[in-house]
Structure 1
Amino acid sequence: MSRLFLLRHAKAAWALPGMRDFDRPLDAAGITDAEATGIAMQAHGYIPELTLCSNAVRARQTLEGIAANTDTGRVLYFDDLYREDASGYLSIIRKSGNVSALLVIGHNPMMEDLALALAPQGDEDARATLHAGFPTSGLAVLRFPGNLSEAVPGTGYLEDILMPPGL
């Protein structure tokens, strides 16, 4: 059995004039939410062996907030997690999936599309939450019977979704 944790980055500030979207930082609520997500991950025992993180500023800052409150394992950064679609995310996961617990910190709509494609079944409340839209700082917990390097759409089970307080 393996677990895949899909985390949408925390709430980002609006871009300032001349600022690239890639460089948008977290706003104050995003910083707080990232820290709360790390605390919740620790409390639930959702500890990855490996973290794959988008190189976008808001994703990296989300990782910092989480890492201040729980172990994130070894961390690798990917520009592709900023620009790829859900199938590109899955390709990256499969190439890195020789672990039993993998955290991916990325962006929507890719995170939502990937979670829904991988796990058509799961906890009823978690599925309802995900179908309403993958919230910033939301963590989808997917379980697979085998190794993540063999994950394909339809083979996962959505066992939980954590959201920051107040959402």
Structure 2
Amino acid sequence: MAKLYLLRHAKAGWALPGTRDFDRALDPSGVTDAEMIGNAMRAHGYVPDLTLCSGALRARETLGGIASHTDTGRVLYFDKLYSEDAAGYLEIIRDHGDFDSLLVIGHNPMMEDLTIAVSGNGEAGARETLEHGFPTSGLAVVRFDGSLTNAAPGKGYLEAFLTPITV
């Protein structure tokens, strides 16, 4: 059984004039939310073997907030997680699917699209929460019977969906 943790970066501030969107930092509530999700991950035993993180500043800062409260395993950064669509995310996940559990820290709408695509079924409460959107610092926990190298649409089970409001 493999687990895929899909985390949308925490809330970021608006880009200042002359600052690229890629370089937007977390705002104070985003820092707090990232730490809350890190605590929730630790409490639930959600420990990835490998973290794949967008190179965008807000994603890297989200990782920092989480890592200050729980183990995130080995970390690899991919600028492609800033610009790829959900299919591109899935390809990156499959490329690293030899690990039993992966945490992907990325962006919307890719996170929401990917979670909906791979989660064929799921816990009623988790699916209900996800139906209201994929907020910043939202964490989808998707279980697969086989290896993540074979992750595909409809093949996962949405085990949980955590947000800073629900933890």
- Scaled by the length of structure 2, the TM-score of the pair is 0.98
Equivalent residue, structure 1, for 2:162: 162
Alignment of 1:21-32 (within 5 A): 21-32=21-32
Cα deviation 1:76-105 (Å, max 9, x = unaligned): 000000000000000000001111110000
Q: Which runs of 5+ in 2 are unaligned?
A: none
**1:65 paired to 2:44:** no
Paired residues, number: 167
Q: 1:92 corresponds to which letter in structure 2?
A: I
| CA deviation profile, 1:38-86 (whole Å, cap 9, x unmatched) | 0000000000000000000000000000000000000000000000000
- Whole-Å Cα distance in 2 between the matches of residues 131 and 83 of structure 1? 24
After superposition, the CA RMSD in angstroms is 1.0
Partners of 1:52 and 1:102 in 2: CA distance: 7
Specify the alignment match of 2:146 in structure 1.
Answer: 146
Residue 165 of structure 1, CA deviation: 3.1
Large movers: runs of 4+ above 4 Å = none
CA offset digits 1:18-57 (Å, max 9, x no partner)? 1110000000000000001000000000000000000000
Q: Which residue of 1 aligns with 2:3?
A: 3
Name the residue aligned to 2:77.
77
Tell me which amino acid in the other structure corresponds to 1:53.
C
Provide the residue aligned with 2:95 in structure 1: 95
Instruction: Please list, as runs of the form range in 1=range in 2, the aligned pairs for 1:9-20 lying within 5 A after superposition.
Output: 9-20=9-20
Gaps of 5+ in 1: none
Counterpart amino acid of residue 64 in structure 2:
E
For 1:100 and 1:53, how far apart are their aligned partners in 2? 17
The 3-state SS of whatever aligns with 2:161 is strand
Residue matched to 2:47: 47
Equivalent position of 1:133 in the other structure: 133
Note the alpha carbon deviations across 1:93-147, whole angstroms, 9 max, x for none: 0001111110000000000000000002101111111121001001000000000
Q: Following the alignment from structure 1 to structure 2, what is the Cα–Cα distance between the partners of residues 146 and 162?
A: 23
What is the aligned-residue identity percentage?
66
Indicate whether 1:114 and 2:114 are aligned.
yes
Q: Which amino acid aligns with 2:143?
A: R
TM-score of the pair, normalised by structure 1: 0.98
